[in-house]
Structure 1
Amino acid sequence: MAGNRNYHDQVIVDNQIKLRELQKQLPKFCAEFFRGVEPTTSSRTRIAYCYDLIVFFNYIKSSNPEMTNVPVVDYPIELLDKITATDIEEYLEYLRYYVTEDGKEHTNGERGIMRKLACLRTLYRYFYKKESIKTNPASIVDMPKIHEKEIVRLDADEVSVLLDQVELGDKLTKSQQKFHDKTKTRDMAILTLLLGTGMRVSECVGIDINDIDFKNSGIKIRRKGGNETVIYFGEEVENALLDYLEERKLIVPQDGHENALFLSLQKRRIGVRAVENLVKKYSSLVTNLKKITPHKLRSTYGTALYKETGDIYLVADILGHKDVNTTKKHYAAIEDERRRKARNAVKLRKD
């Protein structure tokens, strides 16, 4: 990690480098678009735009005979005016299943198609607003209808069994058990923290030791949009963190990772993928447990908090949802349960 840059600032730098590399696969005029949207988007969003636009312009190359022999980087901005709403609809249909030059098959569901259309809309809106193009066909193509999935969450018994497996590890393979003694205190702290605060994995791995304030039971984290906030933890989380910090004192981290709270076996700051893998590993040991991801641990916390407080705005604030409607959508099933319970609350006549 360069200089004294913290985890989150380093991620932004790494993403900026990646963005520049990806842009080499796009028409030159896209560079202006990425500069224009930088103030209103995160580096992760711009990388997602890059990937989606690479798919789009490669589709144009393969489907438009006029552009087949022209390198994508040399596509002129005038090309956008030649594309019709029907062309975009055909592109969205193509996204459901296609094979790239390397022979890999790709599929997109409703959400993937929606994201790629949203990217095109942003591109067209930017250049249309700048009067660099005369048409905006993307704006008149309908977004696909999204069918909401059931929110998967753990009940109290499942949470207990999951944490028992982290502690015991008796169902792990022999090769996994070799590492279990070295990592179980750390893994217990990570899972207890995720289940006990509802924070995102990216927020969890970015925590530095001095971000924790045991006096006030708070942790300073950086939200997805870049804002810093303090979230508070209970006694179980505190105990798990204190246990891990005793072990953490004995570890000498690699250069640049001295401040990181959670370390990998390589003594570097643990990454998002590693946390996803450890959640997958332990949840696979629990019989009949649903397919669990870190995000489902977040949903588990949000569900429990809403059941306890009944305050959707508090849940939205603690989870870091910018729009309370996102929270309402996630916990609509619980609201329905509360309404059912209320059916006998009002008595019209005394017995």
Structure 2
Amino acid sequence: MGGQKQIKVHNKSSKPDNIVMKEHEIIHQCEEIEHELPRFLRGFFAYLRGNVLPMTRLAYLHDIKFFCEYLIKETALSEAPCPKDITLLEFDEIRAVDVNAFIDYCRRYKVETKGSIVVYENNNKTLARKKSSVSVMFKQLYRDELLKKNITDGFDPIRVPKATEREIKALQDDEVMIMLDAVAAGSHLTKKERQFWEKTKKRDKAILLLFLTYGLRLSELQQLNVSSFNFSRGEFTIYRKRGKESNMPLNQSVTLAVRDYIEDERADDSKLEEIHKDALFLSLQGKRMTERQIRELVKKYTSIGLATSRKSGYSPHKLRATAATSLIGRGNSIFDVQALMDHEQVTTTQLYAAHKMNVKRELVKDMEWELERTEGKKKK
């Protein structure tokens, strides 16, 4: 029986095997998409490999594949049966107005399958990324002298809200406490959720504290290993963007939570597959938790803190925002917070400094029109 070949890691770097494997998986996905696209895009593929992060490269390639599928299915610009067969001559006939029509199409479109119709709706931030992907591709084709004209100057601008215009969503301190009470005591959980909580409460508590204390990115937390932690030195290691290794100091709360989970709840290594033996956070099936599983866990507990529906709970990135606003609110230096959060620009950290959690509440506190009206009547 022919099957998929097992991938083994021959790792001589300082990175853990799971980090190397994760990078390999992303690069492999990129290469698979490249095989589905026209060969004349080789220069563009090389540009992405040398200039952007693997996850950004993957996002760009997905956008280009979607653009090529759009040309075939929604326009008369290509007669190719599949993206790989689109010709350079057909690409040379594309004009800025055609790309603008594509971006407009991306605002809202539907995909039909045998059993359902899925409607996709994108905001301006997503549209801007798709436009950027297509722009980079056309510019590279022009630089490689494969196209006669650089059509990107004719692309319509897309207004993306400035960072200062966006509402920063983060938990308030009292909401954090309610959330941590829920994970510690199992309060506000459904009967079914409590059954899972009995088996995972120490794991869930450690996950939430790591997010809240260090503002970790989802991928950084998901890839943590047992060997990432050196309790005798009071630190643990994470791998940031661009593969940057960073040592983080452990505080007492996180140390107790992580050790409690490892010693009293986490499955014994003898019961785990080799690939999952070093993984810190395990599912009930004894496998490294996926990003999706962690995301759903965070949504569940944040919804309790917010007193809202499970669907309206916050993402891990909003716990990152919670960590930043809380650290700054406690009077910590903006530059120290920048270093802890791994923000490339201090202007990103400044957004959290400018965010005043209760400013709107304070503004409307004394504007109780209806109370004044009814109380005024009582006084009369």
- Please give the secondary structure, in 1, of the residue aligned with 2:39: coil
Partner of 1:300: 322
Q: Is the 8 A contact 1:251 1:267 kept in 2?
A: no
Spell out the pairing of 1:1-351 with structure 2 (5 A cutoff): 2-3=8-9, 6-102=17-113, 103-147=117-161, 148-247=165-264, 251-252=268-269, 253-286=272-305, 288-289=307-308, 291-334=313-356
CA distance in structure 2 between the partners assigned to 1:66 and 1:125 by the alignment = 19
- Please give the secondary structure, in 1, of the residue aligned with 2:247: strand
Residue 126 of structure 1: how far off its partner (Å): 1.9
Q: Is the 8 A contact 1:152 1:296 kept in 2?
A: yes
Q: Is the 8 A contact 2:306 2:313 kept in 1?
A: no
Partner of 1:343: none
Q: Is the 8 A contact 1:203 1:221 kept in 2?
A: yes
User: Which residue identity does 2:191 align to in structure 1?
Assistant: K
Distance 1:79 1:318, change over 3 A: farther
Residue 2 of structure 1: how far off its partner (Å): 2.9
CA distance in structure 1 between the partners assigned to 2:94 and 2:73 by the alignment = 14
Q: Is the 8 A contact 1:187 1:278 kept in 2?
A: yes
- Please give the secondary structure, in 1, of the residue aligned with 2:88: coil
- Please give the secondary structure, in 1, of the residue aligned with 2:216: coil
Deviations 1:76-99 (A, max 9, x none): 233333222222222111111122
Identity %: 30
CA distance in structure 2 between the partners assigned to 1:254 and 1:168 by the alignment = 31
- Please give the secondary structure, in 2, of the residue aligned with 1:48: helix
- Unmatched 5+ stretches in structure 2: 1-6, 12-16, 363-380
Distance 1:9 1:139, change over 3 A: farther
CA distance in structure 2 between the partners assigned to 1:188 and 1:70 by the alignment = 52
Deviations 1:232-277 (A, max 9, x none): 2322111111211212565232221111111111111112111101
User: Which residue identity does 1:304 align to in structure 2?
Assistant: S
Q: Is the 8 A contact 1:313 1:324 kept in 2?
A: yes
With the length of structure 1 as denominator, give the TM-score of the two structures. Answer: 0.88
CA distance in structure 1 between the partners assigned to 2:167 and 2:303 by the alignment = 20
Runs of 4+ in 1 over 6 A off after TM superposition: none
Residue 306 of structure 1: how far off its partner (Å): 1.5
Most deviating of 65-74 and 113-122? 65-74
With the length of structure 2 as denominator, give the TM-score of the two structures. Answer: 0.81
CA distance in structure 1 between the partners assigned to 2:36 and 2:112 by the alignment = 15
- Please give the secondary structure, in 1, of the residue aligned with 2:286: coil
CA distance in structure 2 between the partners assigned to 1:101 and 1:250 by the alignment = 43
Equivalent residue pairs, number: 338
Distance 1:305 1:130, change over 3 A: same
Residue 37 of structure 1: how far off its partner (Å): 1.7
User: Which residue identity does 2:131 align to in structure 1?
Assistant: L
- Unmatched 5+ stretches in structure 1: 341-351
User: Which residue identity does 1:206 align to in structure 2?
Assistant: Q
* Alignment RMSD (CA, Å): 2.4
Q: Is the 8 A contact 1:189 1:237 kept in 2?
A: yes
- Please give the secondary structure, in 2, of the residue aligned with 1:302: helix
CA distance in structure 1 between the partners assigned to 2:356 and 2:242 by the alignment = 28
- Please give the secondary structure, in 1, of the residue aligned with 2:171: coil
